[in-house]
């Protein structure tokens, strides 16, 4: 039956069983190692994880359920490591064009917000995206979704935000729907109408206010009516949308059933982390400029069981050359659950490679390899509201996994930018497989 698979011959299986990770447990990846017990196995039946552990034990469990083990499709991990499929908790997958010229501007000293204020940045991508056909957007989406998958990502959050008018925002979200239907990458769509104030509003004295009203009164109701987004996001940043404007958008979204998440405290402290707690956001993202009060607000929320996941995006900080990374160690010490995302977008993070982000997180955020892996699996799943079904290899969860050609998970971020992936499995189906053994 499709969705059935028996992975055999693993040296290590990183299960991430046990729920959201935070504090001293951020790096507890619940690993099963094969040294003493012999090769390990993972069984997926009907698209869901059925059993994980010593090969002979997994066979016994399956036989006990009346499964014809010999008749299952087998996949040999050949002494590699099996992890849950990676979850990318923050991407801007759909856009048109590219912005390589901004790299040169930044190398000469221009800042990201200066380029945006001068009508470049996000706004130049909006021009290109509005002019693109649905088919062009779909082709772009397929290309980069396929690339994400090849780096081990089986589920990704995907934002609109390069339309900035009702028609184009709806077109972007509808295109995510078509991409998701094609599969195999699973997509979690987010409406980000409040990404920037578009050109047609900029000459008005009340530009930002007028656009916030457009988002709340026109765009959000249309998105909610079509049921094509799960979350509502805002770029809460000095000179873009302030905390009050962000609150109004997020609350309006929540009233329409879209859960809040936000770009918070990326470049300046804008009170974004505290706002995320106030509105019950699933995630507060970036946080490179979070204040002490912001860290405390996230810590208190986690302590009272209402955690807002801190989704950190270190590839963005690297690409912006700001040198000012999110205080990941302080967040972890304060008990805030940390997730990771690529922030794939044409301006600040043109990388679809979440495996590479794990390495950047180790080098620049000082996460351990285990902490980084938890951040890109179970915690990222929680950041997307999928914490009970995705992000871990536990019986009953989705059968999404990656086989890495290394004998233990610490080697995944160690081999910087290397192609380590033997196979990617989505819902028990092999969706990527290396043709030859290295
Ligand atoms: O997460 N900061 C806002 N949004 C994106 C960048 C979008 C762009 O520059 O096109 C981010 O970094
Ligand atoms: Fe972003």
Domain ranges of the chain: 5-84+392-433, 86-383
Question: What atom in ligand 1 is closest to the CA of residue 349?
Answer: 12
Q: How far apart are CA 203 and CA 215, in angstroms?
A: 18
The pLDDT value given to residue 438? 63
- Classified as helix, coil or strand, 378 is helix
Q: Which ligand is located closest to the Cα atom of residue 190?
A: 2
Q: Ligand 1, residues 116, 286, 341, 345: which to mutate, most atoms within 8 A of Cβ? A: 345
Judged on CB neighbours under 10 Å (0-12, 13-18, 19+), 153 is: buried
The pLDDT value given to residue 36? 74
Q: How far apart are CA 271 and CA 297, in angstroms?
A: 10
Helix boundaries (H) for 272-388 = 272-278, 292-303, 314-320, 328-333, 354-364, 369-375, 378-383
Q: How far apart are CA 403 and CA 40, in angstroms?
A: 12
The pLDDT value given to residue 435? 78
Pocket of ligand 1 (CB under 6 A): 92, 121-122, 125, 235, 263, 266, 316, 343, 345-348
Q: What tokens appear for 167 in the block?
A: 């028609």
CATH fold of 86-383 reads TIM Barrel (3.20.20)
The pLDDT value given to residue 352? 98
The pLDDT value given to residue 2? 82
Domain covering 5-84+392-433: architecture: Roll (2.30)
Helix boundaries (H) for 339-438 = 354-364, 369-375, 378-383, 411-414
Its pTM stands at 0.98
Residues of the chain under the 70 pLDDT cut = 1, 437-438
Supply φ then ψ for residue 189, to 5 degrees.
Answer: -85, 140
- Classified as helix, coil or strand, 162 is coil
Q: What tokens appear for 352 in the block?
A: 């679809």
Question: What atom in ligand 1 is closest to the CA of residue 121?
Answer: 9
Q: Whose CA is nearest to atom 1 of ligand 1?
A: 343
- Classified as helix, coil or strand, 298 is helix
């Amino acid at each position: 039956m499709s969705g059935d698979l028996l992975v055999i011959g693993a040296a290590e299986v990183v299960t991430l069983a046990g729920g959201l990770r935070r504090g001293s447990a951020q790096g507890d990846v619940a690993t099963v190692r094969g040294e003493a017990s012999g090769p390990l196995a993972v069984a997926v039946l009907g698209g869901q994880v059925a059993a994980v552990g010593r090969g002979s034990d997994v066979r016994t469990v399956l036989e006990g359920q009346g499964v014809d083990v010999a008749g299952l499709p087998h996949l040999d991990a050949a002494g590699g490591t099996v992890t849950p499929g990676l979850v990318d908790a923050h991407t801007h997958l759909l856009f048109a064009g590219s912005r390589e010229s901004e790299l040169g501007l930044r190398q000469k000293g221009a800042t990201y917000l200066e380029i945006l204020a001068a009508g470049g940045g996000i706004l130049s991508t909006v021009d290109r995206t509005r002019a693109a056909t649905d088919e062009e957007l779909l082709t772009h989406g397929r290309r980069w979704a396929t690339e994400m998958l090849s780096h081990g990502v089986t589920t990704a959050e995907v934002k609109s935000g390069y339309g900035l008018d009702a028609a184009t925002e709806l077109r972007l979200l509808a295109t995510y729907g078509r991409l998701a239907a094609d599969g195999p990458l699973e997509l979690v769509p987010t409406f980000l109408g409040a990404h920037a104030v578009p050109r047609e509003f900029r000459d008005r004295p009340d530009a930002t206010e007028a656009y916030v009203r457009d988002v709340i009164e026109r765009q959000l109701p249309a998105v909610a009516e079509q049921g094509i987004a799960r979350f509502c996001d805002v770029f809460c940043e000095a000179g873009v949308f302030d905390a009050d404007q962000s609150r109004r958008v997020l609350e309006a979204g929540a009233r329409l059933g879209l859960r809040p998440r936000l770009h918070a405290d990326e470049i300046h402290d804008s009170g974004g982390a505290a706002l995320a707690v106030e509105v019950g956001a699933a995630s507060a993202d970036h946080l490179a400029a979070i204040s002490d009060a912001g860290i405390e607000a996230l810590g208190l929320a986690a302590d009272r069981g209402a955690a807002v996941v801190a989704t950190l995006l270190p590839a963005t900080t690297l690409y912006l050359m700001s040198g000012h990374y999110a205080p990941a160690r302080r967040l972890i010490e304060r008990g805030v659950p940390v997730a990771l995302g690529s922030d794939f977008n044409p301006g600040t993070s043109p990388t679809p490679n979440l495996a590479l982000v794990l390495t950047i997180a180790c080098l620049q955020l000082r996460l351990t390899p285990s902490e980084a892996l938890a951040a890109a699996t179970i915690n990222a799943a929680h950041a997307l509201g999928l914490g009970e079904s995705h992000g871990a290899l536990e019986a009953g969860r989705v059968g999404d996994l990656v086989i890495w050609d290394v004998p233990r998970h610490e080697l995944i971020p160690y081999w910087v930018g290397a192609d380590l992936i033997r196979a990617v499995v989505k819902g028990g189906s092999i969706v990527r497989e290396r043709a030859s053994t290295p």
